[in-house]
Structure 1
C-alpha cells in the first residue's frame, strides 16, 4: 500500500481564537470498556471515543465473547457468558491499552488468544506483561521475544494473590492487573517494586473506576494496591472529553498569541490532561473558568519552562513543540519512560525539532530545548499520534512544514486533520 503524501500543516500569522469540544477520553473509554466486559450485567457508555485505539479495544473484547451494540453516541456492552475454547487472534494495532490490558482478561477464559499488532508495536516492551502472566500461573508462548506476537493459554481461572511488578516503564502494567484483580479467585495484592512510577493519574483513574463499580481497592501503602475479590457492578457512564487531546488546541492558541475555549472541562477528573491548568501559566498564559468551560489565553510572550512531566508524560510532545517556539530555553524532565511508547519519543522529538533548524538535546530523563529560528521541512511522525500533534503546533509558526502520515492521529482523535485545518485557517476573530 502506498504511504499517504505528507500533509501541509496550516500556518497562521494571526492569533487563533476559537472554541473546541474535544471527543471523549481514550484512556477512560478503554478502561470503561474492559470493566463493562467484566461486569455483572449490561452497561451503557455515552459519548465514548470512537477512534482506532478504542475500536481495537471493542474488537478485542468482542473477540473474547462480549457483545457491543453501537447506537450513535451510546454503546451497550454485554459481558460474555462463555468464551468457548477455539483459538482466536486479537489485533492490538499500536494501542498500549489493548496489548497490556486485554491479555489479563484473556487469562480468565479457556481459549488460546494470540496478540499481535502493527510493526512498531512489535518493539514495544511487553516482557513485564508476559512475566506477570506467568507469575500468575498463566501459560504464555512468546518464542522468547518478550514482545508481540505472543499467545495466552487461559485455563478459565486465575488464582491471584500477591504479585510484584516493576512498572517503572509504564503505569499500564499496574492498571492492567487492577482492572481484572477482582475476578481473580483470591483477589490481588499488587506491589510495585521498581523505581519511580510514571503517569500516576492513569492509575488513580483506574482505581476510581473500580470503586465506582463496587470493587474494594485498598491503597493504604505507597506503591501497593489490594483488590478484593468479588463482582464488578454494571454501570451506565458518560465519558469525559479527552483533556490530553485538548492540549494541541491550547498550544495552538498560545503559540499564536490567541485564546481558546475548551468546552465541558470536567471539574473533578483523574485525567493527566488536567495538568494543562498549571502548564499554561508556566508558559506565561492564563486559565479562566467560565461556567462549564475553561478559557486558555496567551500572555504577552511565550516564555520557556522548567517542568517535571513524570506524571503527565503523554503531554510532552506538544509541550516540546511549544518550547521550541518560546522566547527562552526549556527543560522538560521526568519522562525517561517515553522511550518505550509508540516510538522513542525523546529521540524522535530531538531529531525532528533539529531537522527544522532547532536546538534540542536529549537528557537522561527528558529534553533541553533552546529556541532558534525554524524553517520548513518534513516532520516525521513515526506513526505516533502525539508526534503529529507536535508537528501541527510547530506548523502554525513555521511556514512550509509538511507532516508525514498525519492520519496517525485517528488513534485517539477521529477526523483530527480536517478539524485542525478548518479551525486554524479560519479568519481571525476581532
Structure 2
C-alpha cells in the first residue's frame, strides 16, 4: 500500500499557489470544440488524468487535438464509430460523451476503471433511448460498460431526465443538443437537483459558442439546433482544486494567496470565500489574487452545500478541526461520486478518532481529539486532499495512494510542499 505521510504545518503560512486550469471548464470546452463548425484553441487547459482521458476519447471519435506550447488546438471532424471510449473514473467523460457518440456513424463502446462501474449512468442511457438511440448494456443495467450504436444523426425532441444523482446527466445532453436535428427540450423530473452551478456553467459556455438556450423555466432547458462556433478561449483556474490550499490557512494560520481568481464565475468553487469567512477566515480579492488569512481557529457551522458538493470533503476536513460541531447538508448525491464520499469521510474521520455520522443528505461532524493513522482515499482525489489538510495539524496521518490526486491536480505533493515552504508555486 502506497502511503504518503502528510507533512505537519511548520508554522503560519505565507504562500502563493498558482492553481492549474479548471477540469470542469476544460472538459466542457473540449466537447464543444469537438462539435464546432471550425477549429478552436484552448489556452490554460488542465492536463490531468480526467482531461487527458477526454482528449483521448474525442481523438478516437474523430477530433484532432494538437499541442501548441501550453495550448490545445482542436480541429473537429465527423464523429466516427467503431471506437472505444476509456472513461477511467471521470464522470465528465462517461456522462458527456454518450450523446456525442450517438452522432457517430457506428458503434462506440464505453468502459472504465473498476470503481467507475459502480457510478450511475441510467438516466443518460434512458434519455438516449427515448431519443431513438440504441444502447446495448454489457453488465449491470444503468452502468458501464455499454455500447452506443450511432447512426450518424440524432433527431432530438423532448426528453425527461431524473438528474437527482448528478447534474452531469443534464450537462452531457445539453452539450451535444445543438447538433440534434430538432435540438432538445430537457426536463428534470427528480426531487432534487445537485450542483446547479455546473449546469449554469454548461449553459453559459453554450451561449458563448453561439448556441441558443432557453432556461427561463425552472428545471427545463431548451436548446435550439444550429452550429457551435469554434473559438479561442482561456480556461479559468480550478477554484475547487484551490480549496485545500486556501483552507490550509485556517488550519495552520497565516495567509495563502491564489492568483487568477475571477471576479465572476460559474464554478461552484466561487462560493468558497464566503464559506471560509463563516468558518473564521478573512478573505480579500486584490485584482485577481484571492488571499485567505486564518489564525488556526475554525468555527463549526450548519452549511448547505447542494450547489458546491465537490468542496464538501475539504470542508469536512476543516470541520474535524473546528471548535464546535458542523452539519453539512444537501450532498446526498456524493454517494454516487468517485466513491461514496459520505461513507468514506465518515469512516476515515472515525478511523483517526473523530466523530462523523451520516444523515440522509450529508454529515454531522463533532470534533474529537485525533491521532495519526492511515487515511484511505478509495481512488478519490478529494479524499486524498482532505487527508493532507487534516495532516497539517495531526501528526502521523498517512494518506493512501496520494497519486490519485493526478485525476484533476497534477503534482499535488509538489504544490503542497511548495506551499508549506512559503515559495511561489507554479503549476
Report the TM range for the smaller structure's normalisation. over 0.9
1:22 to 10, 16, 19: 19
Distance, in Å, in 1 between the alignment partners of 2:422 and 2:227 is 51
2:141 corresponds to 1:145 = yes
Answering whether residue 122 of structure 2 is matched by residue 122 of structure 1, we say no
Structure 1's 376 and 82: CA in aligned 2 closer, same or farther, altered over 3 A? closer
Aligned partner of 1:67 in structure 2 is: 64
1-side partners of 2:311 and 2:206: how far apart?
A: 25
State which of 259, 267, 270 in structure 2 corresponds to 1:271: 267
Residue in structure 1 matched with residue 182 of structure 2 by the alignment: 186
Residue 99 of structure 1 is aligned with which of 91, 94, 97? 94
Partner in structure 1 of residue 358 of structure 2: 362
Q: Secondary structure at the match of 1:413?
A: coil
- 1:39-54 matches, cutoff 5 A: 39-54=36-51
| Candidates 156, 159, 162, aligned match of 1:163 | 159
Instruction: Answer whether contact 2:10 2:420 (CA < 8 A) is retained.
Output: no
Q: Determine the structure 1 residue equivalent to 2:221.
A: 225
Question: 1:300: how far off?
Answer: 6.7
CA RMSD across the alignment: 1.1
Q: Distance in 1 between matches of 2:314 and 2:203?
A: 27
The total of aligned residue pairs comes to 422
1:425 to partner: Cα distance: 4.5
Conserved? CA contact 2:252–2:296, under 8 Å: no
Matched, 1:314 2:310: yes
Partner secondary structure for residue 158 of structure 1: coil
Q: 1:11 aligns with which of 8, 13, 18?
A: 8
Q: Following superposition, which runs of at least 4 residues in structure 1 exceed 6 angstroms of deviation?
A: none
SS in 2 for 1:310: coil
Residues 25-424 of structure 1: pairs in structure 2 closer than 5 A: 25-81=22-78, 83=80, 85=81, 87-143=82-138, 145-299=141-295, 301-424=297-420
Contact in 2 for aligned 1:112/1:151 (Cα 8 Å): yes
Aligned residues of 1:13 and 1:397 also touching (Cα < 8 A):
no
2:87–2:111 Cα contact (<8 Å) kept = yes
What is the CA–CA distance in structure 2 between the aligned matches of 1:40 and 1:161, rounded to whole Å? 22
Q: What is the CA–CA distance in structure 2 between the aligned matches of 1:387 and 1:301, rounded to whole Å?
A: 22
1:89 CA drift (Å): 1.1
Displacement of 1:129? 1.4
Q: Distance in 2 between matches of 1:276 and 1:175?
A: 23
Check the 8 A contact 1:138/1:154 in 2, yes or no.
Answer: yes
Listed one character per residue, the Cα deviations across residues 74-126 of structure 1 (whole Å, up to 9, x for unaligned) are 0000001362x4x2211100000000001110000112111000010001011
Task: Please tell me whether the aligned partners of residues 10 and 425 of structure 1 are also in contact (alpha carbons under 8 angstroms).
Answer: no
Distance in 1 (alpha carbons) for counterparts of 2:204 and 2:330: 25
Secondary structure in structure 1 of the residue aligned to 2:186:
strand
Unaligned 5+ runs, structure 1: none
TM-score scaled by length of structure 2: 0.97
Determine if contact 1:12/1:425 at 8 Å carries over to the other structure.
no
Unmatched 5+ residue regions in structure 2?
none
CA shift for structure 1 position 12: 1.5
- Aligned equivalents of 1:344, 1:237: Cα separation in 2: 34
CA distance in 1 between partners of 2:419 and 2:256 (Å): 11
Paired residue secondary structure (1:226):
strand
Report the Cα distance in structure 1 between the residues aligned to 2:78 and 2:213, rounded to whole angstroms.
25
Distance 2:296 2:250 in 1: 10
CA distance in 2, matches of 1:324, 1:216: 45
Contact 1:286 1:299 in 2 (8 A): no
